Amino acid sequence: MDKQSMYRTLLTIGLHLIVAQAGAQEDMARLIKENFAFADSQYQYMMKQLPPDKMPQSYDEKNKKFIAYQRTWWCTGFYPGSLWYIYEQTGDPVIKNEAERALKVIEPNKTYTGNHDLGFMMYCSFGNAYRITKNGSYKNIIIQSAAALASRYRPRAKVIQSWNTNQYFKGPVIIDNMMNLELLYWTSLNGGDAKYKEIAVTHSNTTLQHHFRPDFSSFHVIDYNMETGDVIRKATWQGAADCSAWSRGQGWGLYGYVMMYRFSKDKRYLDQARKVAGFILNHVNLPKDKIPYWDFDAPYIPHAKRDASAGAVIASALLELGQYTKGAEKEGYVSNAKDMIISLSGEKYKAKVGENGGFLLKHSTGALPSNSEVDVPLIYADYYYLEALKRYKDWYL
Protein backbone atom coordinates (compact mmCIF):
# COMPACT_ATOMS: atom_id res chain seq x y z
CA MET A 1 0.00 0.00 0.00
CA ASP A 2 1.44 3.40 -1.03
CA LYS A 3 1.40 6.39 1.35
CA GLN A 4 -1.56 8.04 -0.36
CA SER A 5 -3.68 4.90 -0.07
CA MET A 6 -2.64 4.48 3.57
CA TYR A 7 -3.68 8.05 4.39
CA ARG A 8 -7.05 7.53 2.69
CA THR A 9 -7.59 4.32 4.67
CA LEU A 10 -6.70 6.00 7.96
CA LEU A 11 -8.96 8.94 7.14
CA THR A 12 -11.84 6.60 6.36
CA ILE A 13 -11.32 4.72 9.63
CA GLY A 14 -11.21 7.99 11.54
CA LEU A 15 -14.42 9.23 9.95
CA HIS A 16 -16.17 5.95 10.77
CA LEU A 17 -15.06 6.26 14.40
CA ILE A 18 -16.33 9.84 14.62
CA VAL A 19 -19.68 8.85 13.12
CA ALA A 20 -19.96 5.86 15.46
CA GLN A 21 -19.14 8.00 18.49
CA ALA A 22 -21.68 10.61 17.46
CA GLY A 23 -24.29 7.90 17.03
CA ALA A 24 -23.54 6.49 20.48
CA GLN A 25 -23.91 9.94 22.03
CA GLU A 26 -27.22 10.44 20.25
CA ASP A 27 -28.38 7.10 21.65
CA MET A 28 -27.43 8.16 25.18
CA ALA A 29 -29.12 11.54 24.80
CA ARG A 30 -32.28 9.76 23.66
CA LEU A 31 -32.06 7.23 26.52
CA ILE A 32 -31.70 10.00 29.10
CA LYS A 33 -34.57 12.06 27.71
CA GLU A 34 -36.84 9.02 27.51
CA ASN A 35 -36.07 7.97 31.06
CA PHE A 36 -36.76 11.37 32.56
CA ALA A 37 -40.09 11.37 30.71
CA PHE A 38 -40.71 7.88 32.08
CA ALA A 39 -39.80 9.08 35.58
CA ASP A 40 -42.26 11.98 35.26
CA SER A 41 -45.05 9.54 34.39
CA GLN A 42 -44.13 7.01 37.08
CA TYR A 43 -43.88 9.54 39.88
CA GLN A 44 -47.22 11.06 38.96
CA TYR A 45 -48.60 7.54 39.35
CA MET A 46 -46.72 7.16 42.65
CA MET A 47 -48.20 10.36 44.04
CA LYS A 48 -51.63 8.77 43.95
CA GLN A 49 -50.47 5.89 46.16
CA LEU A 50 -48.72 8.03 48.76
CA PRO A 51 -50.28 8.92 52.14
CA PRO A 52 -50.05 12.70 52.63
CA ASP A 53 -47.90 12.52 55.76
CA LYS A 54 -45.39 9.89 54.62
CA MET A 55 -42.62 9.40 52.07
CA PRO A 56 -42.33 6.41 49.68
CA GLN A 57 -39.87 3.64 50.39
CA SER A 58 -40.71 0.49 48.41
CA TYR A 59 -43.42 -1.71 46.90
CA ASP A 60 -44.39 -5.27 47.78
CA GLU A 61 -45.27 -6.81 44.42
CA LYS A 62 -46.53 -10.08 45.88
CA ASN A 63 -49.09 -8.40 48.15
CA LYS A 64 -49.58 -5.32 45.94
CA LYS A 65 -48.69 -3.12 48.90
CA PHE A 66 -47.23 0.38 48.63
CA ILE A 67 -44.75 1.00 51.46
CA ALA A 68 -44.22 4.50 52.90
CA TYR A 69 -42.69 5.74 56.15
CA GLN A 70 -42.89 8.67 58.55
CA ARG A 71 -40.62 11.67 58.01
CA THR A 72 -37.85 10.59 60.42
CA TRP A 73 -37.05 7.46 58.42
CA TRP A 74 -33.58 7.85 56.90
CA CYS A 75 -34.79 7.68 53.30
CA THR A 76 -37.41 10.42 53.36
CA GLY A 77 -35.29 12.97 51.48
CA PHE A 78 -34.93 10.83 48.37
CA TYR A 79 -38.50 11.28 47.13
CA PRO A 80 -38.48 15.09 47.03
CA GLY A 81 -34.89 14.96 45.76
CA SER A 82 -35.95 12.71 42.90
CA LEU A 83 -38.87 14.98 42.11
CA TRP A 84 -36.51 17.96 41.83
CA TYR A 85 -34.25 16.03 39.45
CA ILE A 86 -37.28 15.17 37.32
CA TYR A 87 -38.63 18.73 37.37
CA GLU A 88 -35.23 20.10 36.39
CA GLN A 89 -35.29 18.01 33.21
CA THR A 90 -38.98 18.15 32.29
CA GLY A 91 -40.22 21.46 33.68
CA ASP A 92 -43.44 19.74 34.70
CA PRO A 93 -45.34 21.98 37.18
CA VAL A 94 -47.19 18.96 38.62
CA ILE A 95 -43.85 17.45 39.64
CA LYS A 96 -42.67 20.77 41.10
CA ASN A 97 -45.82 21.19 43.17
CA GLU A 98 -45.42 17.70 44.60
CA ALA A 99 -41.75 18.36 45.36
CA GLU A 100 -42.69 21.49 47.29
CA ARG A 101 -45.43 19.64 49.18
CA ALA A 102 -43.05 16.82 50.11
CA LEU A 103 -40.49 19.31 51.43
CA LYS A 104 -43.05 20.70 53.84
CA VAL A 105 -43.68 17.21 55.20
CA ILE A 106 -40.02 16.56 56.01
CA GLU A 107 -38.99 20.12 57.00
CA PRO A 108 -39.25 19.39 60.77
CA ASN A 109 -36.29 17.02 60.33
CA LYS A 110 -34.05 20.10 60.33
CA THR A 111 -33.73 19.70 64.10
CA TYR A 112 -33.75 15.89 64.18
CA THR A 113 -30.77 14.37 65.99
CA GLY A 114 -31.83 10.72 66.24
CA ASN A 115 -29.24 9.44 63.75
CA HIS A 116 -26.61 10.58 61.29
CA ASP A 117 -28.77 10.56 58.14
CA LEU A 118 -29.53 14.27 57.92
CA GLY A 119 -27.50 14.45 54.70
CA PHE A 120 -29.71 11.92 52.98
CA MET A 121 -32.85 13.40 54.49
CA MET A 122 -32.20 17.12 54.09
CA TYR A 123 -29.42 17.71 51.56
CA CYS A 124 -30.70 15.36 48.84
CA SER A 125 -34.06 17.12 49.20
CA PHE A 126 -33.53 20.75 50.19
CA GLY A 127 -30.08 20.83 48.61
CA ASN A 128 -31.52 20.06 45.19
CA ALA A 129 -34.43 22.42 45.82
CA TYR A 130 -32.08 25.30 46.66
CA ARG A 131 -29.73 24.52 43.76
CA ILE A 132 -32.62 24.72 41.29
CA THR A 133 -34.75 27.52 42.79
CA LYS A 134 -32.28 29.57 44.87
CA ASN A 135 -35.07 29.97 47.43
CA GLY A 136 -33.37 31.40 50.52
CA SER A 137 -35.68 29.62 52.94
CA TYR A 138 -34.38 26.29 51.65
CA LYS A 139 -30.81 27.39 52.36
CA ASN A 140 -31.72 28.30 55.94
CA ILE A 141 -33.21 24.83 56.44
CA ILE A 142 -30.02 23.22 55.13
CA ILE A 143 -27.93 25.25 57.58
CA GLN A 144 -30.17 24.24 60.50
CA SER A 145 -29.94 20.61 59.41
CA ALA A 146 -26.13 20.78 59.41
CA ALA A 147 -26.25 21.96 63.02
CA ALA A 148 -28.41 18.97 63.95
CA LEU A 149 -26.01 16.56 62.22
CA ALA A 150 -22.97 18.16 63.84
CA SER A 151 -24.48 17.45 67.26
CA ARG A 152 -23.57 13.80 66.70
CA TYR A 153 -19.86 14.56 66.34
CA ARG A 154 -17.74 12.88 69.03
CA PRO A 155 -14.49 14.87 69.31
CA ARG A 156 -12.56 12.29 71.33
CA ALA A 157 -13.14 9.61 68.71
CA LYS A 158 -13.00 12.12 65.83
CA VAL A 159 -16.12 10.73 64.16
CA ILE A 160 -19.82 11.40 63.75
CA GLN A 161 -21.66 8.63 65.57
CA SER A 162 -24.07 6.94 63.15
CA TRP A 163 -26.51 5.13 65.42
CA ASN A 164 -27.14 5.45 69.11
CA THR A 165 -25.62 2.90 71.49
CA ASN A 166 -27.61 -0.33 71.31
CA GLN A 167 -27.39 -3.99 72.29
CA TYR A 168 -24.99 -4.72 69.42
CA PHE A 169 -22.71 -1.65 69.26
CA LYS A 170 -21.31 0.90 71.72
CA GLY A 171 -20.37 3.63 69.25
CA PRO A 172 -21.24 2.54 65.70
CA VAL A 173 -20.00 4.40 62.64
CA ILE A 174 -21.05 3.03 59.26
CA ILE A 175 -19.48 3.68 55.86
CA ASP A 176 -22.80 5.24 54.77
CA ASN A 177 -21.89 8.20 56.98
CA MET A 178 -19.47 9.47 54.31
CA MET A 179 -22.52 10.48 52.29
CA ASN A 180 -23.81 12.84 54.98
CA LEU A 181 -20.63 14.92 55.00
CA GLU A 182 -21.78 16.78 51.89
CA LEU A 183 -24.37 18.59 54.01
CA LEU A 184 -21.69 19.75 56.45
CA TYR A 185 -19.06 20.83 53.93
CA TRP A 186 -21.54 22.64 51.69
CA THR A 187 -22.97 24.51 54.66
CA SER A 188 -19.55 25.78 55.75
CA LEU A 189 -18.94 27.08 52.22
CA ASN A 190 -22.34 28.74 52.01
CA GLY A 191 -22.68 30.88 55.10
CA GLY A 192 -22.68 28.26 57.86
CA ASP A 193 -20.20 27.65 60.66
CA ALA A 194 -16.68 26.75 59.51
CA LYS A 195 -16.55 23.98 62.11
CA TYR A 196 -18.87 21.83 59.99
CA LYS A 197 -16.23 21.56 57.27
CA GLU A 198 -13.64 20.67 59.89
CA ILE A 199 -15.90 17.90 61.22
CA ALA A 200 -16.35 16.51 57.70
CA VAL A 201 -12.60 16.44 57.10
CA THR A 202 -11.84 14.89 60.49
CA HIS A 203 -14.47 12.19 60.05
CA SER A 204 -13.14 11.41 56.55
CA ASN A 205 -9.61 11.04 57.87
CA THR A 206 -10.66 8.76 60.72
CA THR A 207 -12.65 6.65 58.27
CA LEU A 208 -9.60 6.40 56.00
CA GLN A 209 -7.63 5.08 58.94
CA HIS A 210 -10.05 2.42 60.19
CA HIS A 211 -12.74 1.53 57.68
CA PHE A 212 -10.74 0.09 54.78
CA ARG A 213 -8.94 -3.18 54.22
CA PRO A 214 -5.63 -3.58 52.33
CA ASP A 215 -7.57 -4.34 49.12
CA PHE A 216 -9.52 -1.05 49.58
CA SER A 217 -12.82 -2.74 50.28
CA SER A 218 -14.72 -1.33 53.24
CA PHE A 219 -16.11 -2.74 56.44
CA HIS A 220 -19.70 -1.74 57.02
CA VAL A 221 -19.60 -0.90 60.75
CA ILE A 222 -16.71 0.22 62.95
CA ASP A 223 -17.61 0.15 66.61
CA TYR A 224 -15.69 2.82 68.55
CA ASN A 225 -15.10 3.61 72.16
CA MET A 226 -16.31 7.19 71.90
CA GLU A 227 -14.32 8.27 74.95
CA THR A 228 -10.93 7.07 73.69
CA GLY A 229 -11.34 6.61 69.94
CA ASP A 230 -10.22 2.98 70.19
CA VAL A 231 -11.78 0.54 67.75
CA ILE A 232 -13.79 -2.10 69.60
CA ARG A 233 -14.52 -4.24 66.54
CA LYS A 234 -15.08 -4.18 62.80
CA ALA A 235 -18.34 -5.72 61.67
CA THR A 236 -21.31 -5.66 59.34
CA TRP A 237 -25.03 -5.16 59.69
CA GLN A 238 -26.27 -5.44 56.12
CA GLY A 239 -23.45 -7.40 54.49
CA ALA A 240 -22.89 -11.14 54.17
CA ALA A 241 -20.20 -11.30 56.87
CA ASP A 242 -17.92 -9.07 58.90
CA CYS A 243 -15.14 -9.84 56.41
CA SER A 244 -17.25 -9.35 53.26
CA ALA A 245 -17.62 -6.40 50.91
CA TRP A 246 -21.25 -5.28 51.10
CA SER A 247 -21.88 -3.80 47.67
CA ARG A 248 -23.80 -0.65 48.48
CA GLY A 249 -21.27 0.08 51.21
CA GLN A 250 -18.51 0.04 48.61
CA GLY A 251 -20.60 2.51 46.62
CA TRP A 252 -21.05 4.78 49.64
CA GLY A 253 -17.30 4.81 50.23
CA LEU A 254 -16.50 5.55 46.59
CA TYR A 255 -19.07 8.31 46.32
CA GLY A 256 -18.08 9.81 49.67
CA TYR A 257 -14.40 10.24 48.85
CA VAL A 258 -15.08 11.58 45.36
CA MET A 259 -17.39 14.14 46.96
CA MET A 260 -14.85 15.04 49.64
CA TYR A 261 -12.22 15.60 46.93
CA ARG A 262 -14.66 17.89 45.09
CA PHE A 263 -14.85 20.15 48.13
CA SER A 264 -11.38 19.90 49.64
CA LYS A 265 -9.10 19.07 46.68
CA ASP A 266 -7.19 16.84 49.12
CA LYS A 267 -5.44 14.33 46.84
CA ARG A 268 -5.63 11.62 49.51
CA TYR A 269 -9.37 11.52 48.93
CA LEU A 270 -9.01 11.30 45.16
CA ASP A 271 -6.45 8.53 45.56
CA GLN A 272 -8.78 6.64 47.89
CA ALA A 273 -11.67 6.97 45.44
CA ARG A 274 -9.52 5.60 42.62
CA LYS A 275 -8.52 2.61 44.72
CA VAL A 276 -12.09 1.87 45.79
CA ALA A 277 -13.19 2.15 42.15
CA GLY A 278 -10.44 -0.30 41.22
CA PHE A 279 -11.66 -2.78 43.81
CA ILE A 280 -15.20 -2.58 42.45
CA LEU A 281 -14.50 -2.58 38.73
CA ASN A 282 -11.82 -5.27 38.79
CA HIS A 283 -13.61 -7.63 41.14
CA VAL A 284 -14.04 -11.14 39.82
CA ASN A 285 -17.64 -11.19 41.05
CA LEU A 286 -18.79 -8.04 39.26
CA PRO A 287 -21.37 -9.34 36.75
CA LYS A 288 -21.12 -8.67 33.02
CA ASP A 289 -23.96 -6.15 33.18
CA LYS A 290 -22.03 -4.29 35.92
CA ILE A 291 -24.93 -4.34 38.42
CA PRO A 292 -23.46 -5.87 41.59
CA TYR A 293 -24.71 -8.76 43.60
CA TRP A 294 -25.91 -7.51 47.00
CA ASP A 295 -22.48 -8.39 48.42
CA PHE A 296 -19.28 -9.00 46.46
CA ASP A 297 -18.76 -12.07 48.65
CA ALA A 298 -22.40 -13.18 48.72
CA PRO A 299 -23.11 -16.90 48.91
CA TYR A 300 -24.66 -18.61 45.87
CA ILE A 301 -23.10 -16.35 43.25
CA PRO A 302 -24.11 -16.29 40.35
CA HIS A 303 -27.58 -16.95 41.79
CA ALA A 304 -27.34 -14.31 44.52
CA LYS A 305 -29.68 -11.32 44.52
CA ARG A 306 -28.59 -8.16 42.76
CA ASP A 307 -28.63 -4.63 44.16
CA ALA A 308 -29.70 -2.05 41.59
CA SER A 309 -29.25 0.66 44.22
CA ALA A 310 -25.55 -0.19 44.52
CA GLY A 311 -25.25 -0.01 40.74
CA ALA A 312 -26.91 3.41 40.67
CA VAL A 313 -24.72 4.83 43.46
CA ILE A 314 -21.54 3.49 41.87
CA ALA A 315 -22.48 4.77 38.41
CA SER A 316 -23.13 8.28 39.72
CA ALA A 317 -19.86 8.27 41.69
CA LEU A 318 -17.82 7.02 38.71
CA LEU A 319 -19.18 9.82 36.54
CA GLU A 320 -17.92 12.40 39.03
CA LEU A 321 -14.61 10.58 39.40
CA GLY A 322 -14.26 10.97 35.64
CA GLN A 323 -14.36 14.74 36.16
CA TYR A 324 -11.13 14.62 38.16
CA THR A 325 -9.13 12.19 36.03
CA LYS A 326 -7.79 12.15 32.47
CA GLY A 327 -7.11 9.96 29.48
CA ALA A 328 -7.70 6.23 29.58
CA GLU A 329 -8.44 6.31 33.31
CA LYS A 330 -11.25 8.81 32.83
CA GLU A 331 -12.59 6.90 29.83
CA GLY A 332 -12.67 3.72 31.90
CA TYR A 333 -14.72 5.27 34.69
CA VAL A 334 -17.17 6.90 32.29
CA SER A 335 -17.49 3.79 30.13
CA ASN A 336 -18.26 1.58 33.12
CA ALA A 337 -20.79 4.08 34.44
CA LYS A 338 -22.41 4.20 31.02
CA ASP A 339 -22.67 0.41 30.98
CA MET A 340 -24.37 0.52 34.39
CA ILE A 341 -26.83 3.19 33.25
CA ILE A 342 -27.69 1.20 30.12
CA SER A 343 -28.20 -1.95 32.20
CA LEU A 344 -30.44 -0.16 34.70
CA SER A 345 -32.40 1.34 31.80
CA GLY A 346 -33.03 -2.07 30.26
CA GLU A 347 -35.96 -4.42 30.61
CA LYS A 348 -34.38 -6.44 33.42
CA TYR A 349 -34.12 -3.58 35.93
CA LYS A 350 -36.51 -0.86 34.76
CA ALA A 351 -40.20 -1.06 35.59
CA LYS A 352 -43.02 -0.71 33.10
CA VAL A 353 -45.22 2.39 33.14
CA GLY A 354 -47.88 2.17 35.84
CA GLU A 355 -46.27 -0.80 37.57
CA ASN A 356 -43.81 -1.35 40.43
CA GLY A 357 -45.74 1.05 42.68
CA GLY A 358 -44.51 3.93 40.53
CA PHE A 359 -40.84 3.26 41.33
CA LEU A 360 -38.41 3.35 38.43
CA LEU A 361 -36.08 0.45 39.19
CA LYS A 362 -36.55 -3.14 40.29
CA HIS A 363 -34.15 -5.59 41.97
CA SER A 364 -32.61 -3.64 44.83
CA THR A 365 -31.61 -5.22 48.13
CA GLY A 366 -31.80 -3.36 51.43
CA ALA A 367 -30.67 -5.71 54.21
CA LEU A 368 -30.68 -9.34 53.13
CA PRO A 369 -29.35 -10.79 56.42
CA SER A 370 -32.44 -9.34 58.12
CA ASN A 371 -34.68 -10.46 55.26
CA SER A 372 -35.60 -6.81 54.85
CA GLU A 373 -36.28 -5.21 51.46
CA VAL A 374 -34.94 -8.08 49.37
CA ASP A 375 -35.27 -7.88 45.57
CA VAL A 376 -37.62 -4.89 45.62
CA PRO A 377 -37.74 -1.29 44.39
CA LEU A 378 -36.12 1.22 46.75
CA ILE A 379 -36.49 4.98 46.65
CA TYR A 380 -32.76 5.67 46.88
CA ALA A 381 -32.05 3.46 43.86
CA ASP A 382 -34.31 5.77 41.85
CA TYR A 383 -32.64 8.87 43.27
CA TYR A 384 -29.07 7.90 42.34
CA TYR A 385 -30.21 6.54 38.97
CA LEU A 386 -31.74 9.93 38.14
CA GLU A 387 -28.61 11.65 39.40
CA ALA A 388 -26.46 9.45 37.16
CA LEU A 389 -28.64 10.28 34.14
CA LYS A 390 -28.32 14.00 34.90
CA ARG A 391 -24.57 13.79 35.43
CA TYR A 392 -24.00 11.94 32.17
CA LYS A 393 -26.08 14.52 30.31
CA ASP A 394 -24.35 17.49 31.94
CA TRP A 395 -20.77 16.24 31.73
CA TYR A 396 -20.45 13.78 28.86
CA LEU A 397 -22.92 14.72 26.12
Which residue type occupies 374? V
Measured CA to CA, the distance from residue 291 to residue 286 in angstroms comes to 7
User: Ramachandran region of residue 19, left (φ > 0), alpha (ψ -120 to 50) or beta?
Assistant: alpha
| Cα 397 to the center of its chain, rounded Å | 21
Q: Is 117 a catalytic residue?
A: yes
Which residue type occupies 32? I
Per the CB < 8 A criterion, the answer to whether 188 and 197 are in contact is yes
β pairing state of 221-224 and 231-235: antiparallel
Measured CA to CA, the distance from residue 26 to residue 47 in angstroms comes to 32
Spatial CA neighbour of 235 closest among 221, 217, 247: 221
* Beta-carbon count within 10 A of 16 CB: 10
| φ/ψ (deg, to 5) at 346 | -90, 175
Strand segments (E) across the chain: 55-60, 65-69, 153-154, 159-160, 172-174, 221-224, 231-235, 364-367, 372-376
Catalytic position from the list 40, 92, 117, 223: 117
Measured CA to CA, the distance from residue 308 to residue 371 in angstroms comes to 17
Q: Is 230 a catalytic residue?
A: no
What own/partner pairs with CB < 8 Å and gap ≥ 24 does 266-273 have?
Answer: 266/201, 268/208, 269/204, 270/324, 272/208, 272/212, 272/216, 273/317, 273/321
User: What count of Cα atoms within 13 Å lies in the side-chain half-sphere of residue 334?
Assistant: 19
Spatial CA neighbour of 62 closest among 382, 378, 375, 380: 375
Which residue type occupies 124? C
Measured CA to CA, the distance from residue 280 to residue 297 in angstroms comes to 12
Catalytic position from the list 176, 223, 295, 307: 176
Spatial CA neighbour of 197 closest among 258, 161, 156, 149: 149
Measured CA to CA, the distance from residue 379 to residue 309 in angstroms comes to 9
Q: What amino acid positions are annotated as catalytic residues?
A: 117, 176
